[in-house]
Structure 1
Amino acid sequence: MENENTLQSTDFTTEAPKSGGTPQPGLSQKKYIGKREFIMYAVAAGGQGMIYAVMSSYISDFYVNVMRLPLVFVLLLMLLARIWDAVNDPMMGMIADKFTTPLGKMKAYVLFTAIPIGVLTFFMFYVPEGFNQTELMIYAAFIYVFWGMTYTVSDVPFWTMPNIMTPNPKERANTISFARTVNGVGTAIPLALFMVLSWIPSLNAEGDIEAEKTKYMILVLVAATLGIALFITSFFFTKERVTLPPKPKRKKGEHGALYRIFHCKPLMIVVLMGVLSSGRYMMQAAAIHVARYAFYIGPSLEGLTGEALNEAYAGSIGTVSTLFQICSAIGMFGSMLVMPLLYKKFNYKQIVIVSCLGGFVASIISTVFGTLSIYFDNLQWMVYMLIPFIIVQCIPLGALNVTAYAMIGDSLDYLEWKTGFRDNALGSACQSFVNKLGNALATTFIIVMYIIINLDPSQSMASDAIKRVTDLTKDQRFGMFALVSIVPGISLILTAIPVFFYDITGARKEKVLSELHERRAAQGINFEA
């Protein structure tokens, strides 16, 4: 019997298959996930988003401009540690697929790791008193790497859960879409809090490192405490239903899980799509750097000294950061909210390609307006012309965040249909791998840009002051601005190329689902509602 508390999710329009029978009603219509479970999984995703946003959006700024670590060290740490962290994802996926704990197959990992992640997040933004630069480097490296490994243990199983909460691909897509949307809302909470803190004079004396430390401490305490409290609820309010019978022990010479994953063409296209789209992460990760070093928005600086001058610079940083974060939020959340409606009329392939092309065009226009604002003093007002185009640039940020997970689910259906194996956690780990590698590449390029434009905040450590935007040349300022304009645009146009070869759409997708349903029924596999 269908669960009386089942959420009536949006039905998707599908094409009738050209061959292979008609879609099976039992597969396409039955709902498994109740309203409370649907909502609470998304709430937990929002909590996780808060935690990850603090790290991904602000850790590079904290290390470079507050902790004052050497640029080359930060570059190597961001790149190598995050690549190592990304490599851990497939390993964690294989572990989660192979073992089942007494508390569940996937959700138990959230219970075990939530509190350690919160504690490590706090220490990531804590500067120990009395440490010299070498000791700070060792401290930062240890906490950063340990945080990443601990986060992986919960992240991979958590985003695998929709694949085992329901066998219904449409219900799964709705669950992922809503959860990713709320996850995006969660990422906005630390950004909004940072904006509010930027308006408090005592926390924004430009050049005061202690004020910056205090601001980050407040930010991380709120985000970590609230985020973990929400994240851990997924253990208590979700149910694991899709548990296929274990396969016989692998025979000698038989291909293993990694071989199956790497030879699953649709899945590898999704992975390549994610790697190429890594530039989109700069819209959030680089915003604070652009606010510090690309634009000045505020009153004339002529005649200003002391506290008045500091307040003018601090106000500009807050204004520019707020401008970019609000535009990012509108573009990202707006696209996430309309995804379920778009899925009714268009397939995943069409949505990804069109959003990437639109983002690329918007980035070109943004680059033009931003360049004019930087190089011509009488055109500084043109920074406000960026607003609609930054919003359009951020549409792929939301569209890809949601659609990639849905494409992973379809790829796992294809994998099971093709091989008889369904490596849920390992498949989902591929997307986690892509997300972390993308963040690694984005953050690394931010540090590379500092080196390219010859800007090293650690060189001013003796003065205990942060370098100001008006101290930079126009070329240096443009270099910083490029991080949120032309660089993400190039990334998006490259992303669209492999997606043209993704073919789990229309009649082929229906054929896979129909035959997969028939095979499960013949094997006597039924999933509990």
Structure 2
Amino acid sequence: MSTARKLSVAEKIGFGMGDAACGIVYSSVTMFLTYFYTDIYGLSAAAVGIMFLVTRVLDAITDPLTGLVADRVHTRWGHFRPWLIWFAIPYAVLAVLTFSTPDFGESGKLLYAYITYTLLMLCYTFINIPYCALGGVITTDEKDRLSAQSYRFTISSLAGLVVSVATLFLVDWLGKENKQFGFQATMAIMGTLAVIMLFFCFFSTSERVRPKVEINSSMMDDLRILLANDQWRIVAVITFFSSMAGVMRSAATLYYATYLMLGGIESAAGTAMKSAFVSTSVVGTIIGSIAAGYLAQRYRAVSLFKNINLLLVVIGVVMFFVPPTWLAIVFPLYFLVGFFHQMYQPFKWNMMANAADYGEWKFGRRITGLSFSGNLFALKMGMAVAGAFVGFSLGWFGYQAGNPTQTTLATNGIIGLLTIGPSISYLVLYWLSRFYILDDKMMNQIQRDLAHREQVEEINTPAVTPALISTGANNHG
């Protein structure tokens, strides 16, 4: 039974805490892991690029399987919420292990990186797919669901700000001259915060949309229904290119700030510059998330999504031609990138929930967990391709880790990875938005039809008696 009762502010904050928990580790991975692997751990950029790509092969199995299992899990707390506490502590432990540097020799270190990174992303899958599916079942109210997504991204952006501001200073403070231990200890703090927030999310949310239980449905049937959902396919491709843009920029940011801006790679001024530059974008994401909630109540979400991506294309192209040492221009431009990139995120994630509703409306079967798991797979594939592309590109550009003076090709390549690369993805997103048809009018019609179907089913469903239960006659597919 579903209900469109309005969510309280406390419930929206609790929902947002779940994404903040995921993001406090995910942000560390996107912002610092490539740099950590090349400049601290000692792996080559090409090896890191290959690892990011190869490890995503497992997601082709684990992501849809997680969604399928989550749809079939039945507990007193719902389908999706229990996963948040089942895997909270393993997630924190693996975050620490991933940023650890055992002395295993070159081959052993690479193998250790493969194992720990793969397990971290696997645990991320077990938490993030059910969490994202939770966003589709906390209410059926379109505007309220979008408001909850706005809260989500505002709170997760605040968590990202903590990561961007605190990480490098904590690494220096906790590790002193030992940057390896500094990263390890810092991730222990981040992991502990993630566990606390996941428990908070679990205890402050509830699943109001309860899909009809279909015992005889097979996993293959669910997969066929998902792939037949044309709007889900569009949203999955949108998710891929959005992830490509964000991760490519995040991975290139630290190289840009370390080698091309002022302060040097070892000085305190250099650390402050890197933290300030990363944080500028994150502050933009916080304000962008807040603005998204305001604009969503007044304008059409699809038009906003389309126009925001066009603005991001223009900003990226302009920033490519601005010298990195022109701080008075670079900082505002990078703020705008974070502002607009995060502004459209609530719209994108609401598209995923809309695609799940559309699938139920079109095929008569709600597969929320599988729908979101497919989108999470697209997100992680975008993340992997972007990470691999940055690693391969740095190697091709002739980047030398720790060398304060990079070649002209490496310098221009880093600038391009930060600006032009993401702009190409944003341009693709602008083009893809023309194929997305689930605007406000369409979604209102879908919700009315689904509510009507539910009422008809309740009227036509006969009362279940003990005799029927004992004979199994109540199993009506």
What TM-score does the superposition give when structure 2 sets the normalisation length?
Answer: 0.89
Q: Runs of 5+ in structure 1 lacking a partner?
A: 1-25, 204-209, 299-310, 374-379, 458-465
| C-alpha RMSD of matched pairs (Å) | 2.4
Mapped contact 1:328–1:394 kept (Cα < 8 A): yes
Q: 2:258 and 2:8 mapped to 1: Cα distance?
A: 46
- State whether structure 2 residue 297 is matched by structure 1 residue 344: yes
Which one has the largest radius of gyration? Answer: 1
- What is the deviation of 1:316? 4.8
**Alpha-carbon distance change, 429 to 485 in structure 1, aligned in 2, over 3 angstroms:** same
- What is the deviation of 1:313? 4.1
Matches within 5 A, 1:36-55: 36-55=10-29
Q: 2:364 and 2:450 mapped to 1: Cα distance?
A: 9
Q: 1:170 aligns with which of 126, 134, 143?
A: 143
1:232 is matched with: 199
- State whether structure 2 residue 158 is matched by structure 1 residue 185: yes
Same amino acid, percent of matched pairs: 20
Q: Structure 1, residues 414-463: CA drift from partner, whole Å, max 9, x if none?
A: 11111111111111112322221222122112201211112243xxxxxx
Q: Equivalent residue of 1:318, what SS? A: helix
Q: Structure 1, residues 300-357: CA drift from partner, whole Å, max 9, x if none?
A: xxxxxxxxxxx87433532442343133113322221111221122222111111110
- What is the deviation of 1:147? 1.4
Q: Structure 1, residues 464-496: CA drift from partner, whole Å, max 9, x if none?
A: xx322xx21222212112111111111111111
Q: 2:212 and 2:52 mapped to 1: Cα distance?
A: 41
Q: 2:313 aligns with which of 330, 335, 360?
A: 360
- What is the deviation of 1:228? 1.6
Q: Equivalent residue of 1:187, what SS? A: helix
Q: 2:175 and 2:370 mapped to 1: Cα distance?
A: 48
How many residues of Structure 1 are paired with residues of Structure 2 in the alignment? Answer: 457
- State whether structure 2 residue 112 is matched by structure 1 residue 139: yes
Q: Which amino acid aligns with 1:98?
A: R
Q: Which amino acid aligns with 2:384?
A: A
Q: 1:261 and 1:280 mapped to 2: Cα distance?
A: 26
- What is the deviation of 1:223? 0.8
Mapped contact 1:359–1:394 kept (Cα < 8 A): no
1:13 is matched with: none
- What is the deviation of 1:104? 3.3
Q: Equivalent residue of 1:126, what SS? A: coil
1:467 is matched with: 403
- What is the deviation of 1:201? 11
Q: Structure 1, residues 163-219: CA drift from partner, whole Å, max 9, x if none?
A: 22222222222212211221121122111102534776984xxxxxx5321331232
1:281 is matched with: 247
| Bigger Cα displacement from structure 2, 192-201 vs 483-492 | 192-201
Q: 2:352 aligns with which of 405, 408, 416?
A: 408
1:271 is matched with: 236
**Alpha-carbon distance change, 195 to 135 in structure 1, aligned in 2, over 3 angstroms:** closer
**Alpha-carbon distance change, 297 to 70 in structure 1, aligned in 2, over 3 angstroms:** closer
- What is the deviation of 1:117? 0.7
Q: Runs of 5+ in structure 2 lacking a partner?
A: 460-477
- What is the deviation of 1:392? 2.2
Q: Which amino acid aligns with 1:467?
A: N
Mapped contact 2:165–2:276 kept (Cα < 8 A): no
Q: 1:212 aligns with which of 171, 176, 179?
A: 179
Q: Structure 1, residues 141-172: CA drift from partner, whole Å, max 9, x if none?
A: 11111111122111111111122222222222
Mapped contact 2:356–2:367 kept (Cα < 8 A): yes
Q: Equivalent residue of 1:256, what SS? A: helix
Q: 2:82 and 2:111 mapped to 1: Cα distance?
A: 32
Mapped contact 1:358–1:392 kept (Cα < 8 A): no
1:451 is matched with: 395
1:435 is matched with: 379
1:127 is matched with: 101
What TM-score does the superposition give when structure 1 sets the normalisation length?
Answer: 0.81
Matches within 5 A, 1:445-524: 445-457=389-401, 466-468=402-404, 471-524=405-458
- What is the deviation of 1:248? 5.5
Q: 1:201 and 1:365 mapped to 2: Cα distance?
A: 38
Q: Structure 1, residues 126-145: CA drift from partner, whole Å, max 9, x if none?
A: 111x4211111111111111
2:54 is matched with: 80
Mapped contact 2:96–2:184 kept (Cα < 8 A): yes
Q: 1:259 and 1:315 mapped to 2: Cα distance?
A: 56
Q: 2:269 and 2:330 mapped to 1: Cα distance?
A: 16
- State whether structure 2 residue 35 is matched by structure 1 residue 57: no
